[in-house]
Structure 1
Amino acid sequence: MTTTHNTSVRPEVALARVEANGRTQWAVRRGDEYSPLGMTLSELLRLPPADARRTVEEATGGGLRPATVLSPVDPGQEVWAAGVTYLRSRDGRIEESTDGTPYDRVYEAERPELFFKSTGARVIGPGGQVGVRADSAWNVPEPELGIVLDSGGGLFGYVPGNDVSSRSIEGENLLYLPQAKVYTAACALGPEVVPAWLARAPFAISLEVRRDGELRFGGTASTEQLARRLDDLANWLYSCLDFPDGVIMLTGTGIVPEADFTLLAGDEVAVDIAGVGRLENGVDLVGRDILAGADRKGGQDE
């Protein structure tokens, strides 16, 4: 277990989706002051980059008093993810798998591993509960830098993310990747989106998992360790997909817990990205184990 330190300094300016004045709306936060953005993130990401920046910079005056900070994504937007972008991630995937060859090959390949992660409506926000599958014995958080891309594939901003995953399900068979990655409460983002022109890469990333108040696992990484450029990942994602409302893309993890660690219901997880924000979530058990007690593939006894 690695000791971690809280590297968070709250960004001076960020975009937040909030409940305020009885409705959900987007705001620009400057310090402790929230100003209405006047549009959704989807609408903002449809604008030319210069207009989007001007819209953010001209949102001033304050006046909002948020009751709740929500996940920083519109319900109709999508979250995608890249895998095996760090050497540690490749090694971790090889450790969990019955055949590690594909992970070795994709780490070296020109084409990256890209996969769908979540709809915006399913994303868990700051303070919410992420999920671990009831039918998985080995579950891990994956702290990741999320990039917010506009409708043309340009980089608009950054957001902390947690790509919660079942290592036992994916390790059993590569064809089970969607089940290992896409399920109820498997994706968390937040607390805010930091505009790219106000953030400076590379970013230090840290993970803390606490159990009964004690640090159970901690680790650190840096986006300097990424084996792929962020613009290259964006280019591949947009090469044969259109995102008229923009998209959030998780860029992979460089922090992989050891094989003797699994995330449990009741744990508390913190993903900290220096200069971008700190995402904190509890953990719940989700779903049901339909194979429990079954002795054949049909899942029921005769």
Structure 2
Amino acid sequence: MSFLEPAELTGTFIGRVWRPDVNGPAVVTIRDGHVVDITSKTAPTVREICEMDDPAAFVAEAAGSSLGSLEVIAAAQPGARDTIHFLAPCDLQSVKACGVTFASSMVERVIEEQAAGDPHKAQEIRARVGGAIGDSLRNIKAGSEQAAKVKQALIAEGLWSQYLEVGIGPDAEVFSKAQVLSSVGPGAEVGLHPISKWNNPEPEVVLAVSSKGRIVGAALGNDVNLRDVEGRSALLLSKAKDNNASCAIGPMIRLFDATFTLEDVRAAELDLRVEGTDGFVLEGHSSMKEISRDPEDLVRQTLGRHHQYPDGIVLFLGTLFAPTKDRDTDGEGFTHKLGDVVSISAPGFGTLRNTVRLSTECPEWTFGISHLMRNLAQRDLL
């Protein structure tokens, strides 16, 4: 099953696959339905291409060799070192994420905090908080004078929260989602920390950003979220977010060119589908048109004179999706079960599909920066 539709193949895509014959990754693009290896001394990594003046033009003109059909390689099981398969499309970039960038997710974060990670209490709190807040936050520009007035009103109602602070205050929430090279790609298993009993997928757009802060493309991402862990304490954010296989990005980065620009990112409509082995189906949606902070503002708050990233970043932009549909018990909402298949798709981006496991059951992350450097050196690419 391919993750790109024929109409999407007109764009300029860049990604990575595992090549067993060189025991390492290759930088690839898609041409005429084939996966083409464009790895070279000029561009041994995706990072190098993202740093170029015109990444899309380089990819379009780069010499390469076919590794096989997209259909066949996209269907290969990730993690098998003896088979060509897709990896996350980023490599040396830091993996950062923004939280609480949509009104609905702000409300759900307040509920998590009020419930202290207990899903049994969530429905009652959702009704109370929703009654007080409603849709009043939907059209507020974060950091504006209007947002400041809403903040004072919420404080007066006893409903102010640290999540609303980053949601409508001047400063965005930006955190480290995963370690360099630890993200998984399309078809891979995504992991839940075993201590979590209340969790969900988060369908998001992920920007590819150069070290100079220039946005050069975008992909899809699943910012796997442990609601009970973070709900107990915001200081557990790292434990809730950064675990083995808890970050999925893909299927590939679509580079900005004449057919795809930042305006397409701003207008992106993401669809989510979760299919359980128990027959349960959850469908959700996230519209980038409703984000409360512009993608360029989020990049500026992440990367600039205050913080440099010499290898660039990939940046999750947050989600509108709020999983409130009950799965097993009335009032407890949604939580994952092992074996859930999560599909995140958007026109022009393709489909990122992953299967849910425990982080302790997913393949261990063993190929780090030192391994990549040694591998590239052995291949005479450095």
- TM-score of the two chains, using structure 1 as the length reference: 0.86
1:35 CA drift (Å):
3.2
Local SS of the residue matching 1:231: helix
- Retained in 2: the 8 A contact 1:14–1:30? no
Q: 2:179 aligns with which of 99, 115, 119?
A: 119
Match of 1:241 in 2: 307
Whole-Å separation in 2 of the counterparts to 1:29 and 1:190: 14
Q: 1:188 aligns with which of 233, 248, 255?
A: 248
Match of 1:300 in 2: none
Q: 1:21 to 1:169 in 2, by over 3 A?
A: closer
Deviations for 1:88-125, whole angstroms, at most 9, x for unmatched residues? Answer: 11011111112861111211112100000012321111
Match of 2:88 in 1: 71
Asked if residue 55 in structure 1 is aligned to residue 121 in structure 2, the reply is: no
Query: Which segment drifts farther, 153-162 or 38-47?
Result: 38-47
Asked if residue 148 in structure 1 is aligned to residue 238 in structure 2, the reply is: no
Deviations for 1:20-65, whole angstroms, at most 9, x for unmatched residues? Answer: 4723211221341333333211111233x23x33312212565332
Structure with larger Rg: 2
Asked if residue 271 in structure 1 is aligned to residue 344 in structure 2, the reply is: yes
Match of 2:48 in 1: 43
1:286 CA drift (Å):
2.6
Q: 1:273 to 1:213 in 2, by over 3 A?
A: farther
1:166 CA drift (Å):
0.6
Deviations for 1:205-233, whole angstroms, at most 9, x for unmatched residues? Answer: 01111012735211112111111111111
- Retained in 1: the 8 A contact 2:15–2:46? no
Q: For 1:69, give the aligned amino acid.
A: F
Q: For 1:44, give the aligned amino acid.
A: I
Unaligned runs of 5+ in 1: 1-5, 289-302
Whole-Å separation in 2 of the counterparts to 1:150 and 1:215: 40
Deviations for 1:252-285, whole angstroms, at most 9, x for unmatched residues? Answer: 0111201511012111111112211100001112
Percent identity over the alignment?
A: 29
Q: 1:7 to 1:221 in 2, by over 3 A?
A: farther
Match of 1:299 in 2: none
Whole-Å separation in 1 of the counterparts to 2:222 and 2:256: 20
Whichever structure has more strand as a proportion of its residues is 1
Whole-Å separation in 1 of the counterparts to 2:235 and 2:182: 23
Match of 1:3 in 2: none
- Retained in 2: the 8 A contact 1:11–1:277? no
CA RMSD of aligned residues (A): 2.2
- Retained in 1: the 8 A contact 2:97–2:315? yes
- Retained in 2: the 8 A contact 1:11–1:276? no
- TM-score of the two chains, using structure 2 as the length reference: 0.69
Q: For 1:96, give the aligned amino acid.
A: E
Match of 1:19 in 2: 18
- Retained in 2: the 8 A contact 1:33–1:62? no
Whole-Å separation in 1 of the counterparts to 2:109 and 2:98: 13
Unaligned runs of 5+ in 2: 74-83, 115-158, 325-331, 362-382
Asked if residue 105 in structure 1 is aligned to residue 165 in structure 2, the reply is: yes
Q: 1:218 aligns with which of 279, 283, 290?
A: 283
Equivalence map 1:153-232=2 (5 Å): 153-197=213-257, 198-199=259-260, 200-201=264-265, 202-212=267-277, 214-232=279-297
Whole-Å separation in 2 of the counterparts to 1:185 and 1:21: 21
Whole-Å separation in 1 of the counterparts to 2:19 and 2:338: 31
Q: 1:15 to 1:94 in 2, by over 3 A?
A: same
Deviations for 1:144-182, whole angstroms, at most 9, x for unmatched residues? Answer: 000000111101111110000110011111111111111
Match of 1:33 in 2: 34
Match of 1:256 in 2: 322
Whichever structure has more helix as a proportion of its residues is 2
Q: For 1:35, give the aligned amino acid.
A: V
1:11 CA drift (Å):
3.6
- Retained in 1: the 8 A contact 2:273–2:284? yes
Whole-Å separation in 1 of the counterparts to 2:252 and 2:4: 16
